[in-house]
Amino acid sequence: MHPIEHARTRPDHPAVIMAGSGETMTFGEMDRAANRFAHLLRSRGLGAGDAFAVLLENRPEFYTVIWGSQRAGTILIPVSTRLTAPEIAYILSDGEAKLLVTSTRYTDVLGTIRDRCPDLDVLVMDEGGEADFAAALSAQPAEPIADQSAGLTMLYSSGTTGRPKGVRPRPPEDPSPTAPVALMGLAVMGAGMPADGSMVYLSPAPLYHAAPIGWSSAVHRLGGTVVLMEKFEPEAALAAIERYGVTDSQWVPTHFVRMLKLDDAVRSRYDLSTHARAIHAAAPCPVPIKRAMIEWWGPIVIEYYAGSEGIGMTLVKSAEWLERPGTVGKAIFGTLHVCGPDGEELPAGKDGLIYFENAVLPTYHNDPAKTAEAMHPSGWMTIGDIGHVDADGYLFLTDRKSHMIISGGVNIYPQEIENLLVSHEKVMDAAVIGAPHGDLGEQVVAVVQPADMAEVEGDGGEALEQELRDYLAPQLARIKMPRRFDFRPELPREANGKLYKRELRDEYAAKAEAEAPEASSTA
C-alpha cells in the first residue's frame, strides 16, 4: 500500500485536511504534486542520496515535499521552526543540504541563513518572486520521474543537551518507493489502526518532528486521511475530533495536561464517539494525568516508547497500563536490555541505562564519537534513557541520563518531581533542573508555569510556593524537595513535549557565575 496506489484507485479521497481552515488535498492532487517535486529536485541537481532541508509550518505542501522526496531517493531534513538562524544554518551545513524549502513566515531568519550558507539553493512558499516554490513546482511535469526510489528522512535531535545531532538511517533493503515500511506493521498490528482506508487521523504537532512525520506518512500508506492542525489548541483539538469524525490521533503528555485543564463544560461539549485510538509518546506521562485521560476518553489510550533513532519500540494499551501504572510497555521492535555503569545487565527492578538490540542500527551523522558513546560492547544502542523492567518484561522509565541532578553526592532524577508538580491543579507546566550551588554542587530548582499567572502576583508567588511544598512533602523525599521555586508564564518546551532544559541550565549557570564575584567580595 502506498499513496501512489491510492491516487490511482481513490484519487478524490482526502489525503490531507487542514483542521482549522478545512483546506483539502486529495490523493490525486498529492500524487501529482509529489511527482512535480521529484522532477523539481532533479532539475535543481539533487540525485538519489542527496540531502535537502525543510523549514515549514504545518501546511498541505509539507506532504508534497515528503512524498516527492520519497520518489526521488533523496534525504529530507526537517528543521525545527523554533530554532534560531545560526542553529538552522548549522544543521544545513552539517547535513550537507543542497536545497532549503521554506515559506515567507521565516523571512526573518533567511538573511542570516543565506549569509552563512551562500551556496544554498532556496525555494520560498508564498513569495511570488524568482525563488517562488509554487511557480517552480508548476513548471515541472506531473508524471513520475524515470528513476524513482525510496527516500530517507534524517532527523536532528532537539539539541536539549548540546548541538543537534543528525540521525542517519540505514538505506532500505528494497529501494522501491512503494516497498512497505516497518511502521505500517506497527500501526496495524501494534496499535490496531485500520488498513482499509477508513482512518481519519488527527495530527496536532509540527510535522518536523519524528512522530508526526512518521505516523502520518504511515496513515497515507494505509489510505487514511490526515487532519493536520495548524497549531495545537486544546479546545480546537476536541472540536476537530467531532468535526471530522477522527478515529485515530497522536499526542504528547503536555497536550493531555492542557486538555485536562479545560473547564468541565468545555471538555464535555464535543462528541468524541468516533475516536477509537489515541496514541501518545515523546515524554513520560505522569500517572495521574494518564489515568485521568483514560477515565475521560475510555480505554483507547495507547502509549509507545521509541526515539528518532528508530532502534526499538515498546507499546502498551490501556488495560495493561492500568494493571501496571507508569509502564511504557513491552518491546514490540528490538530487544530490551537494561545495563549498569560497567555495561553489566541488571536484574528486574533495577534502574539502569536502556539499550535496544536490533539487526539494523543508525549512526549519528558526522559524529562517530557520539555513535560510539551510544553503543554497548555487545552491539546494542541507547538513546540515553534510564529505567527498569519488571519481572514480566514491562519497561518503566525513570528519566534521561543527561537530566540527572547530583546534589550533595545524591543522584536525583527530576522527572519524578515534574510529574508530581504538573498533577497539581494550579500548575500548567514544570521543569526541574540542577543549578550550581557552592556547597551541594547542584541544587534542585523548580521552574513552574502556573495555570494562572495572577496566582504569583503581589507576594511574588510565596503563597503558591508554600502550597506546592505542602503538596510535595508527603510524596517526595526531603533531598528531592526543590530548594528554589521560580515562576514564569511559559517554559522553553518544544511542541513535541521536550523541554529545552539546556536553556534553563545555561541561564541559571550564568546567573551563578555573575553572582560569584559579588559573593566573594562581600565575604
| pLDDT tens digits, 125-142 | 998 888 999 999 999 999
Backbone angles phi, psi at 236, to 5 degrees: -60, -35
Task: From residue 521, give the alpha-carbon distance in Å to each of 280, 437, 512, 514, 515.
Answer: 52, 17, 14, 12, 10
3-state secondary structure of 150: coil
Boundaries of CATH 2.30.38.10 in the chain? 318-402
pLDDT-derived band at 521 (thresholds 50, 70, 90) equals: very low
Q: What fold is seen in the domain 405-522?
A: GMP Synthetase; Chain A, domain 3 (3.30.300)
Determine the residue type at 405: I
Separation in Å, CA 206 to CA 232, 255, 493: 9, 13, 13
- pLDDT for the residue numbered 161: 53
Which residues fall within 8 angstroms of residue 174, CB to CB, at 6 or more apart? 150
pLDDT at 520 over 50: no
Contact 508, 445 (CB under 8 A): yes
Q: How confident is the model at residue 519, as a pLDDT?
A: 43
> Distance between CA 156 and CA 165 in Å, rounded?
5
Residue 65 neighbours by CB under 8 Å, 6+ apart: 37, 54, 56, 76, 101
Q: Are 166 and 88 in contact (CB under 8 A)?
A: no
Strand 97-103 with 121-125, pairing: parallel
Please state which of the ranges 209-223, 263-277, 435-449 shows the lowest mean pLDDT.
435-449
Residue 449 near residue 457 (C-beta atoms within 8 A)? no
Name 236's Cβ contacts closer than 8 Å, sequence gap at least 6: 19, 20, 229
Q: Cβ distance 58 to 230 under 8 Å?
A: yes
Concatenate the DSSP letters of all residues of 190-207 into one string: IT---SSS--EEEE-S-T
Torsion of CA 299, 301, 302, 308, to 10 degrees: 180
In sequence order, what E strands does 161-231 have?
166-168, 200-203, 225-228
Percentage of residues in the chain having pLDDT higher than 90: 73
Q: Are 309 and 333 in contact (CB under 8 A)?
A: no
CATH T-level topology, domain 318-402: Luciferase; domain 3 (2.30.38)
pLDDT at 523: 37
- Using CB atoms within 10 Å of the CB of residue 224, give its burial: 0 to 12 exposed, 13 to 18 middle, 19+ buried: buried
Range 27-178 classified under CATH 3.30.420.40: no
Handedness of CA 58, 157, 77, 123 (dihedral sign): positive
Question: What would the pLDDT profile of 301-343 be if each residue is shown by its tens digit?
Answer: 999 999 888 899 999 999 999 999 999 999 999 999 999 999 9
Other beta carbons within 10 Å of 141: 11
Q: Give the per-residue pLDDT at 174.
A: 82
The closest alpha carbon to 14, from 34, 1, 2, 29, belongs to: 29
**Which whole number is the average pLDDT over 252-279?**
95
Most confident of 155-159, 435-439, 474-478: 474-478
Q: Where in the chain are all domains bearing CATH 3.40.50.12780? A: 27-178
**What is the distance between the alpha carbons of residues 484 and 491, in angstroms, rounded to a whole number?**
16
Residue 168, exposed/middle/buried by CB under 10 A (0-12, 13-18, 19+)? Answer: buried
pLDDT digits (tens, 9 = 90+) for 60-108: 999 999 999 999 999 999 999 988 899 999 999 999 999 999 999 999 9
pLDDT at 516 over 70: no
Domain limits, CATH 3.30.300.30, in the chain: 405-522
- Residue with the three cell numbers 513535549: 497
What is the per-residue pLDDT for 154?
Answer: 95
Measured in residues, the chain has a length of: 523
CA 46 to chain centre: 28
pLDDT in tens, 194-221: 999 999 999 999 999 989 999 999 999 9
pLDDT at 308: 85
Q: Which three cell numbers stand for residue 441?
A: 554542587
- Coil, helix or strand at residue 492: coil
What type of residue is 429?
D
Q: What is the dihedral of CA 236, 241, 246, 251, to 10 degrees?
A: 60
Q: Kindly report the CA angle at 134 between 131 and 135, in degrees rounded to 5? A: 65
Query: What values do phi and psi take at 427, rounded to 5?
Result: -115, 125
Phi/psi at 310 (5° precision): 65, 30
